[in-house]
Amino acid sequence: MEPKKRKVVLTGGGTVGHVMLNKLLIPGFINRGIEPVYLGSKKGIEKEIIGATSIKYYNISSGKLRRYLSSENFKDIFKVVKGIGDARKVLKKENVEFVFSKGGFVSVPVVLAAKSLGIPVYIHESDITPGLANKIAGKFATKIFVTFKRTLDYIPSDKAEYIGPVIRDELKRGYSKIGYELTGFNPDKRVMIVMGGSLGARSINQFIRNNLDELTKEWQIIHLCGRGHYQEGLDTENYKQFEFVKKELPHLITISDIAVGRSGSNAIYEFLLNEKPMILIPLPRSQSRGDQVENAEYFKEKGFAEVIQDEELDIEIFQQTLERIDSNKEAIVDCMCSFEGGFKPQELVDLLIRKEAEE
């Protein structure tokens, strides 16, 4: 009789950041002879990303978690309850060893289902302060791994463990030659990479495009504008748009002298590990729970970045910020070089397997 195949459940969704780490872990589990299975929503971005892999994907019901009063909250309670039932069926059917959750609304019923079945749960929190989903799910977790040391202040010490960012090796293996071929840029002129996230950032996109004439006097600009935000007729010898990049990203980062964008933790740590000084324009608190504002201020405090608040973004302030980075670039890069920490995806897989063996 063949030995029973080992399995784990991965979950998380709603944003690319809640899915990409899980995707990076898939090869590591397979290399260790463990089959990863994914539990996600029926229509979320996780279905698109994980659906492109070879692993099993199960749809479960999930409700949105709101911090404000809404009649929809009552309806969503039933969606979460149904999601718990959906998840329990899958967890029992697949007989998994543990659950790894990256956060997002869909993860909550999965974690609650796992807890009800006595299955260990490991959570990863990327931001300084946990999001609402992880605040709820964290109460039922075996261990919560965090990206920022400061996050340890917000999680019970018996559950929290600092590991730093999870590093994508390929982002440090870019080639300048390919980067210049992709853009057609001049190697003798400085390059700015602007990244608004997978869906783009409307205010940043608009600012860059409104000020192209001024900015391209000194800079060549790589603009990762987000899917559906490409604007015809703007590309020039100094300005190149991409809606979304995958294998091209390491080469584009390699030729860049400075990075501009939002302050989601995945992106800013990628720029840190590539030693690219940053101008961070966090998603404002009026449009978020404030996690990006906290991330940006932390990076400024550490000497890795300058920060411009979204509502203050104009060409004069932006140019002044560029000048500050220019005059302090050596010190900024020195701070970045001194950063210690981080896990490769395979190392995180090994850590999870080891933790489970110790339980």
Report pLDDT digits (tens) over 80-93.
889 999 999 999 99
3 pLDDT more than 70 = no
Contact 227, 242 (CB under 8 A): no
71 pLDDT more than 70 = no
274 pLDDT more than 60 = yes
289 pLDDT more than 80 = no
DSSP state at residue 284: P
Lowest mean pLDDT among 9-18, 65-74, 129-138: 65-74
How many DSSP H helices and E strands does the chain contain? 13, 13
What is the rounded distance in angstroms from the CA atom of residue 169 to the CA atom of residue 113?
A: 34
* Average pLDDT of the chain to the nearest whole number: 90
Q: Taking Cα atoms as reference points, which of 73, 44, 49 lies closest to residue 59?
A: 44
pLDDT band at 5 (very low <50, low <70, confident <90, very high): confident
What is the rounded distance in angstroms from the CA atom of residue 242 to the CA atom of residue 265?
A: 21
Q: Taking Cα atoms as reference points, which of 326, 323, 312 lies closest to residue 207?
A: 312
pLDDT at 74: 53
355 pLDDT more than 70 = yes
The DSSP secondary structure of 30-91, one letter per residue, reads HHTTEEEEEEE-SSSHHHHHHHTSSSEEEE-------SS--HHHHHHHHHHHHHHHHHHHHH
Mean pLDDT of 55-74: 69
What is the rounded distance in angstroms from the CA atom of residue 110 to the CA atom of residue 82?
A: 11
73 pLDDT more than 60 = no
pLDDT at 212: 97
241 marked as binding residue: no
277 pLDDT more than 90 = yes
Q: What pTM was computed for the model?
A: 0.86
pLDDT at 132: 86
Lowest mean pLDDT among 46-50, 63-67, 257-261, 263-267: 63-67
pLDDT at 2: 57
Helix (H) or strand (E) holding 265: helix 265-273
Q: How far is CA 306 from CA 34, 250, 261, 289, 296, in A?
A: 43, 23, 11, 21, 8
67 pLDDT more than 70 = no
- What's the full length of the chain, in residues? 359
Contact 341, 165 (CB under 8 A): yes
292 marked as binding residue: yes
Q: Taking Cα atoms as reference points, which of 128, 157, 153 lies closest to residue 143?
A: 157
- pLDDT tens figures, 22-34: 999 999 999 999 9
* CA 263 to mean position of chain CA atoms: 10
Instruction: Report residue 77 as tokens.
Output: 């309670």
Q: In percent, how much of the chain has pLDDT > 70?
A: 94
pLDDT band at 6 (very low <50, low <70, confident <90, very high): very high
pLDDT at 64: 64
Q: Taking Cα atoms as reference points, which of 153, 156, 128, 154 lies closest to residue 141?
A: 156
What is the rounded distance in angstroms from the CA atom of residue 297 to the CA atom of residue 152?
A: 17
Please provide residue 191's backbone torsions phi and psi, each rounded to the nearest 5 degrees: -120, 135
Mean pLDDT of 327-337: 94
- pLDDT tens figures, 151-202: 999 999 999 999 999 888 788 889 999 999 999 999 999 999 999 765 558 8
